[in-house]
Amino acid sequence: MQRRPIIGISGNIFPATDRKFYKNKELLVVERSMANAILAVGGAPILLPVSTDGDVLDTIVHKLDGLLLSGGTDVDPSSYGQPNSDWPGQPERDRCELGLLQRMRAQKRPVLGICRGHQVLNVGFGGTLLQDIVTQRPTCHIHRSQEKYDALRHPIRFLPNTLLASLFDGMENVNSVHHQAIDRLGEGLEAAAWSDDDLIEAVWAPEDHWTWGIQWHPEWDLRAAEASLFTCFVRKAGTE
């Protein structure tokens, strides 16, 4: 039997709260739809711990065939050199994911960033983020609605002759659940898709082995194109 490529998925930190279950316990979770998307195309997903210990990160990366930077809370402004305003994140998670990204790129292994992960990629390449689209780009339409949540969608356009343009040929809109977005593009990254109000919706690193980031959530809507993206990622991870 052919070995499934091992795909590490970065975890969300859920702070300790007075919840019904796991009362006052800090949780580390991955959304099941993300893991299922990797399973469905032949990968073996594993939840990665949040650690800033370099030896731990080295050991983790040594075991991985691919890295999936998942969605979640905001990237902390301190992680891209800006003062912490009204939108603090989790600096520990940022440092962990940025460390994993650096190591995976050095090993020439595939990386896929989704939503927050797309933003982490940009920060990892030296870029910055809009901390809040509504206040910093008031001409943009709403990109996150708590009421509509994953039903909120917007038009998208792709850079011709790119991987995403071929995978998503004919797709006219994507889901939208984010209030932050790429501001200054990181060095070594190129934009590959935009929303209809010109926010960057996808990036890639042409000089890397395989590094892509997308702002929407393909794992929530596994149509043929979304499934093809995960298939491409896992297959690439399996060739190393």
Q: What is the DSSP string of the chain?
A: -PPPPEEEEEPEEE-----SSSTT--EEE--HHHHHHHHHTT-EEEEEP----HHHHHHHHHH-SEEEE---SPPPGGGGT----S----HHHHHHHHHHHHHHHHTT--EEEETHHHHHHHHHTT--EES-HHHH-TTS-----TTTGGG-EEEEEE-TTSHHHHHTTT--EEE---S-EE-SPPTT-EEEEEETT--EEEEE-TTSSSEEEESS-GGGS--HHHHHHHHHHHHHHHT-
pLDDT band at 115 (very low <50, low <70, confident <90, very high): very high
Residue 140 falls in the annotated catalytic set? no
Q: What's the mean pLDDT in 129-135?
A: 91
Higher pLDDT, 60 or 152: 60
From the candidates 115, 143, 154, 178, give the one annotated as an active-site residue.
115
**Does 219 qualify as catalytic in the annotation?**
yes
Average pLDDT over residues 180-204: 96
Amino acid at position 118, single letter? H
The domain spans of the chain are 6-238
Find the range with the poorest average confidence among 77-86, 90-99, 191-200, 215-224.
Answer: 215-224
Q: Which of 19-28, 56-65, 90-99 has the lowest mean pLDDT?
A: 19-28
Asked if residue 175 has pLDDT above 70, the reply is: yes
* C-alpha–C-alpha distance, residues 181 and 119, integer Å: 7
Give me 92's structure tokens.
Answer: 């520990």
Q: What is the reported pLDDT for 1?
A: 64
Q: What is the mean pLDDT of the chain?
A: 92
Q: Is the pTM of this model over 0.85?
A: yes
pLDDT bracket for residue 142 (50, 70, 90): confident
**Annotation says 118 is catalytic:** no
Domain 6-238 annotated CATH 3.40.50.880: yes
**Residue of 206 and 240 predicted with greater confidence:** 206
Catalytic residue among 97, 201, 217, 226: 217
- Whether pLDDT at 153 is above 90: no
Write the CB contacts of 20 (distance below 8 Å, at least 6 apart in sequence): none
Least confident range from 65-79, 170-184, 189-203: namely: 170-184
